Chains A and B, each alone.
Chain A
């Protein structure tokens, strides 16, 4: 955007030009399927979720209790040296009230997503999950205490969604 440049290239077209045949294009739909390996740490994490528990790994050098668990501490690069359970309660670190779904379509009822710092893990250690049973979304506050609502044991498969959502704890 220098004053020495008189013309900036680019032929603008509108999205409707595709529909109306004013612009030519090729379409393609890639068929890519994946079987992601959960790895050592998350395989155990998922197994424990099936049992209704949340597990973390510990680094004795950095004195951290980490969730989601991992086999190495990314700060000191030593292998993590223990497993420990953390609670399924915690505090809302931050949250958002979304009127957009994952595919960018508009929602009438919002989805509330939050980072929840779990009790028993190191400070600031959180997982991301949904918040429900909140009543009015304007009442949700950072710092609010929440608890996991689990699927019944027979419906759990070993997935993050074995926890349905977190709900505000009335103290």
Chain B
């Protein structure tokens, strides 16, 4: 099993076996995460910078915890104190980080392509923790991990993604990743929330009728409606959105008995779903996704720092 990536920026550059390696490794780290002492010395002496140029609590916490459990030294560099805010260019900021002799940069940025720019200007490994509306590969990997734990295989698995697909970096990685693994993807939402070319992401079907496609699905992935970011009002009201695209107790009877519900969090009760579905003990795997995030991020960091440029092909 060879794993020869230095960066995790564009999930489309990963093969199905690369992704399986990450998932298998994540499973090994899951064992670590269930111990009393949830820490291994694997990345002792490695310095990882969490460069979050956009506010994020959850993703950053997940990365930070993953870093700590791998014994890496992590530095949070971002927020309102960043140089970028003060007018320094991204490239100059990266040059500064390089002087700290770092081994990895985890970057969240509101601009698509920023992780790529960073990777061009640093000898360190780069993980994209979400860039603009482009990609969020570790989110896709944790989603895949969760689905894999429940469904064992992706082959022919029918996954429906509901909501704001057009403005979603989660979809930018998740749809291609699901396709790489052999799943069948349906995008569901109003035209105002669709990307210009769903086929370019890899979607097999597009629908505006949740009730119509729900009976087919093995996995329903509800995207977060960003209440704070509804520029240009893509739908008339949250009430109407919930009526058309919300996963409700009433709609459960349309679902297969073993269909699971995913959500990248944080959830909006009463928008993406009602509390019955959000808390559904058999179907809702939302908290498992959060747990998977730690395992997958530990795996990605372990594989990137170990796999890149080591000159060995095991």
Whether chains A and B associate is no
Q: Which B residues have a C-beta under 8 Å from some C-beta of A?
A: none
